[in-house]
């Protein structure tokens, strides 16, 4: 075992780097301003590159990159992970996200609809339109109120919960079709509770048709 101490090591003619034909093994810290391959091209590490920490300002990997620990990066276009990805600042997706499961409370997820959606309106002496983009509709009615609809998707089912806040006379637009053509007469007394359930039969330029049923005067 020998020791070589030198401030500078060059090739034989002192005009370039030395050539380590059988490789060069460094047991301490290796500091370099550049790693180059043959003819000045990109460096190649056929037997791998190991160490505690390696810092690169840039790099290109034409094949796969395997990381046994934690990989931290600021910008990436494609991720293929067999484990769990932790995104500290979130993940923004402009296309379709397909997953077998989502974990967490979902409070920050926007642009999707999960479960029953509801709305509450307080019409007084007007024709009011319930939004059929919602599933459940609570109407707190006062005075003479006519219920109509906006939007709708064929086959969707909806529930209208009607509560009289004061004396109220509640009617329905011609979009509502009741069994045998009999429009229900809802109670007018303050505090009365009724439910109208309907399915969207059709929509379009010719108008919307709702197949409805009524349960009135709950007590």
Write down the pLDDT at residue 39.
59
Question: How do residues 3-48 score in pLDDT, each as one tens digit?
Answer: 778 888 888 888 887 877 777 777 777 777 777 766 566 677 766 6
Say yes or no to pLDDT of 218 above 90: yes
Read off the pTM. 0.52
Round to whole Å and give the CA distance between 175 and 210.
Answer: 6
Q: Is 17 helix (H, G, I), strand (E, B) or coil?
A: coil
pLDDT: is 106 or 162 the higher one?
162
DSSP state of 76: -
Write down the pLDDT at residue 185.
94
Torsion of the alpha carbons at 47, 49, 51 and 56, rounded to the nearest 10: 180
Question: How do residues 129-186 score in pLDDT, each as one tens digit?
Answer: 999 999 999 999 999 999 999 999 999 999 999 999 999 999 999 999 999 989 999 9
Question: How do residues 48-65 score in pLDDT, each as one tens digit?
Answer: 666 666 666 777 777 777
Query: How do strand 136-150 and strand 127-131 relate by DSSP bridges?
Result: parallel
């Amino acid at each position: 075992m020998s020791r070589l101490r030198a401030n500078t090591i060059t090739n034989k003619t002192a005009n370039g780097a030395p050539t380590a034909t059988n490789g060069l093994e460094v047991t301490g810290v290796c500091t370099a301003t550049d790693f180059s391959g043959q003819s000045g091209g990109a460096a190649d590490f056929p037997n791998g590159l190991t160490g505690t920490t390696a810092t690169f300002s840039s790099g290109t990997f034409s094949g796969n990159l395997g990381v046994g620990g934690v990989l931290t990066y600021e910008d990436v276009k494609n991720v293929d992970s067999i484990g769990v990805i932790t995104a500290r600042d979130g993940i923004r997706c402009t296309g379709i996200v397909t997953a077998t499961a989502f974990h967490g409370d979902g409070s920050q997820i926007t642009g999707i609809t999960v479960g029953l959606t509801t709305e509450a309106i307080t019409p007084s002496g007007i024709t009011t339109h319930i939004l059929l983009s919602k599933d459940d509709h609570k109407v707190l009615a006062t005075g003479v109120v006519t219920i109509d609809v906006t939007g709708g998707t064929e086959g969707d089912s909806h529930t209208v919960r009607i509560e009289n806040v004061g004396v109220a006379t509640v009617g329905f637009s011609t979009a509502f079709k009741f069994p045998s053509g009999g429009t229900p007469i809802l109670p007018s007394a303050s505090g009365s509770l009724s439910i109208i359930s309907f399915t969207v039969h059709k929509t379009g330029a010719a108008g919307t048709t709702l197949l409805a049923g009524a349960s009135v005067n709950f007590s």
